[in-house]
Amino acid sequence: MSVTASLLDVRFIALLSVMGLLRFVVPTRYYVVFGVTCSAALLGLAAPQTLVVISVSTLLLVYPIHRLTRCAERRGASKRFSSVLLTFGMVVLVALLAWFKLYRHFALPWLGAAWIGPETLALVGFSYFILRAIGFLHIQSILKTTESNPLTLLFFLLFPPTLTSGPIQKFQDFRQQVCSPEPLSAPLLRNVAYRLTRGYFRKMVLAVVINDMAGKLLAVQHPSVCVSVASLAALYVFFYFDFAGYSDIAIAFGLLLGVKVPENFRQPFLATTASQFWRNWHITIVDWFRDQVFIPLGGMKGSRLRAASLAFLVMFLCGFWHGVAWGYIAWGAWHGLVLFTEALSGAKPIPPGRHQGMEYWSRVLWTNARVAFGGAFFLPSETALRLLGGFTNWSMF
């Protein structure tokens, strides 16, 4: 049976649904074993290379680093030794992510093919795996807790609904929920049905229609300013419905498996500053960069210039995370520059009680316009240049 690890593949959806229904008859004490077995089987059917790489990385790198760090601390080793172990694990994970982003494709000799080759099967969800693994090592070092069961960690890193595109859950939240998964109930099933309906409607209907509209606008050879503005607006709305819809679907299947996956979008279009926008758009990836980069490097503790520079760095790295290409780097630099100037100016969101009137709506428009402009950098260079050239043509059509 040919299966792809996607929440848009009917066969994968069917198998995931069976897993979700079966878990209601599995005793709670066996749920982790059941969950990791089913997750491995699903991923093994869809992408065996991915299963091997993630499992080996988890059981031979991430988990041993975690246990060695805890053991060293219990035996009175210096904090420096534990810090070196933790740093080593994170450096290796970052190196693997950089390797993956640079080559985009891995192949394993024992599964047939050279060690690295451009024509081999790309690893599914590998970028998100790396982020979750780094987050696990970091938070466990802060909380000073020990995870005694490697299967719980493996279940976390293989969790099928969030494997390919997030949202990114924190390990301590995941662990607590799989130790006591939500029981079957009518409200649970209604919530699952609602999120699935909304998610697939957003992803398969609204996003498809808007994408078609954007494609026609972008095909105009000599666009006017109106066409360019409409193209950016269509792209912007498409990105939202495409990814927010997928997040809804992941949240729904997470609920079916007894796990409350975190929300990824929270009315981002109503933000009045770019920083507020990014706290409400793709929330879990922004939270990850805040927790792993912004706060450890000083965050808001230093000067305003330092905080602004760190905000720029976070968005620049976020661009690299999307892909090693000039368009993604430019996207990160653009949004980093917007956050940098906002932080230096001390711009603050308009309080909820004042969400009305000309000032509020003009700030909303200005915020969305700057974010939408960044969508041009996701386009092929020729298309992006043609679209941006439309801003010099002030004819109506």
User: How many CB atoms lie under 10 A from the CB of residue 3?
Assistant: 18
| Tokens 């799989």, located at residue | 178
- pLDDT > 70: percent of the chain: 93
Global pTM value: 0.91
Confidence (pLDDT) at 322: 85
pLDDT band at 35 (very low <50, low <70, confident <90, very high): very high
Looking at residue 162, its pLDDT comes to: 95
Q: What mean pLDDT comes out for the span 290-318?
A: 89
Give the integer Cα–Cα distance in Å for 161 and 167: 9
CB atoms under 10 Å from CB of 364, counted, come to 18
**388 in helix, strand or coil?**
helix
pLDDT of residue 117: 45
The pLDDT value recorded for residue 143 is 84
Can you tell me which residue has the tokens 């972008």?
Answer: 218
Query: Quick one: average pLDDT of 166-191?
Result: 92
Residue 93 confidence (pLDDT): 93
CA gap 284, 97 in Å, rounded: 18
The pLDDT, as a whole number, for residue 70 is 85
In which band, very low, low, confident or very high, does the pLDDT at 153 lie, cut at 50, 70 and 90?
Answer: very high
pLDDT of residue 2: 67
Helices 79-103 & 63-74 angle (0-180, nearest 10): 170
- Give 185's contacts (C-beta < 8 A, 6+ positions apart): none
Q: What is the mean pLDDT of the chain?
A: 89
What is the distance between the alpha carbons of residues 134 and 136, in angstroms, rounded to a whole number?
A: 5
Residue 228: is it exposed, middle or buried by C-beta count within 10 angstroms (0-12/13-18/19+)?
buried
N-terminal to C-terminal alpha carbon distance within the chain: 51
**Confidence band (pLDDT; 50, 70, 90) for 396?**
low
Q: Are 307 and 343 in contact (CB under 8 A)?
A: yes
CA distance to 8, 57, 86, per residue, from 92 (Å): 32, 10, 10
Q: What is the pLDDT of residues 319-373, one digit of tens each?
A: 988 887 888 999 999 999 999 999 999 889 999 888 888 999 999 999 999 999 9
Residue 298, pLDDT > 70, answer yes
Q: How confident is the model at residue 397 (pLDDT cuts 50, 70, 90)?
A: low
> Across residues 144-163, what is the average pLDDT?
93
Q: What b/e string do you get for 26-44 counting C-beta neighbours within 10 Å, with b at 16 or more?
A: eeeeebbebbbebbbebbe
Characterize 233-262 residue by residue with b for buried, 16 or more Cβ atoms within 10 angstroms of its Cβ, and e for exposed: bbbbbbbbbbbbbbbbbbbbbbbbbbbebb
Of 90, 95, 76, residue with least CA distance to 138:
90
Please give the Cα distance from 185 to 132 (Å, whole number). 30
Q: pLDDT band at residue 304, thresholds of 50, 70 and 90?
A: confident
Q: What percent of the chain has pLDDT over 90?
A: 67
Q: In the prediction, which pLDDT does 1 show?
A: 53
Please list the residues that pair with 265 across neighbouring strands.
281
pLDDT on residue 103:
65
- Please give the angle made by the CA atoms of 215, 216 and 219, to the nearest 5 degrees: 85
Cβ atoms of 124 and 50 within 8 Å: the answer is: yes
Assign 125 a pLDDT band (cuts: 50, 70, 90): confident
Do residues 249 and 199 make contact, with C-beta atoms less than 8 angstroms apart? yes
Burial 263-298 (b: 16+ CB within 10 A, else e): ebbeebebbbbbbbbbbbbbbbbbbbbbbbebeeee
Q: What is the pLDDT of residues 63-111, one digit of tens each?
A: 999 999 888 877 777 678 888 888 999 999 998 888 877 765 454 444 4
Angstrom distance (rounded) from CA 165 to CA 381: 25
- What's the pLDDT band for 234 if we cut at 50, 70, 90? very high
Mean pLDDT of 378-397: 85
Residues paired with 281 in a beta bridge: 265
